Structure 1
Amino acid sequence: MDGIYLLLGTNMGDKFLQLKIAKRQINEQIGAIVKQSSIYKTAAWGEEDQDSFLNQVVKVQSKLGPLKILDKIAIIEAAMGRERKGKWKERIIDIDILYYHNQVIATEKLHIPHKELQNRNFALAPLAEIASGEIHPVFQKTQKELHEQCTDQLEVIMLPPEHS
């Protein structure tokens, strides 16, 4: 993997606005967004009795290390009003680090590559769109291959370009 890839997700309020605000904050606090996927609409994962999500992957250029980026993400999420209500609950914004270049990190606080990436179409579809040939540093498969082999059955719908 060449680059830092973040997954943005929201299923509360004006979802398009939440993504726009998150991207502006990432640009200001983490680094320049150099590439972004289309926006995808997806049913909620895990706890399905909630509104659908909008997801988008962005590639960021940053001089910050992965733990500093994680800290900045927490600041952005809190400033946007995110309340941590539990796993798979609704959220105004969720930002996950999918990749930090080719680094593999496994600590209590941080897993890179994201440890569930290969199991989630809502992350793989936008990632495969903008980084299809990039290799997962653990599985040694491209993002396209991971997406094609993913067994996640949740429908992922790419929205038209005017939404991105």
Structure 2
Amino acid sequence: ASQAEPPSCCRERMQRGKKREREAMSAAPALKGTTWLTAGEEQLETTELRRVKLSAGWRARGSLLLWEHLDPQPSTRIAAFDFDGCLAATSLGGNDPNAWKMQFAHVPEVLKQLHKEGFKIVVLTNESMDRFKSEQAIKSCVVKKCGRLENFSRAAGVPLQVKV
């Protein structure tokens, strides 16, 4: 099967991103291979968020939730996207983890093309869990957001890293 060609707006963004990446790497060669974690920081990861058990595979580092789908590999090339309103259309109300759809039909093909070109796909969302006080409210939000991200990831079908 032939690969769908990304729309021209996406191709232009990808080209600008490649140019910025080349400029950044040439301007800061000392950053190549740099790890931003300090000794012992890995131990701060847990499978709970404020006493709420996370779904299998999810980790918390403070209030940051982390998850990986299909074992994304490290890369110096990163393609990062906001989840809500960029990759997926989501409803604001309710706690249904299935209440989402692809923002644009070509999203999976663009992500697959970026992955094929060696980019690590990172999905970001600014869902703040800190605003919730009760364990039940935290749990509802975690189930909704994590479920939507997991379902999106399966539908996209590419290795990716998620940060909430």
State the TM bucket, normalised to the shorter chain. Answer: under 0.3
Instruction: Give the alignment's TM-score, normalised by structure 2.
Output: 0.24
Structure of greater relative contact order (alpha carbons < 8 Å, 6+ residues apart): 1
Instruction: Give the alignment's TM-score, normalised by structure 1.
Output: 0.24
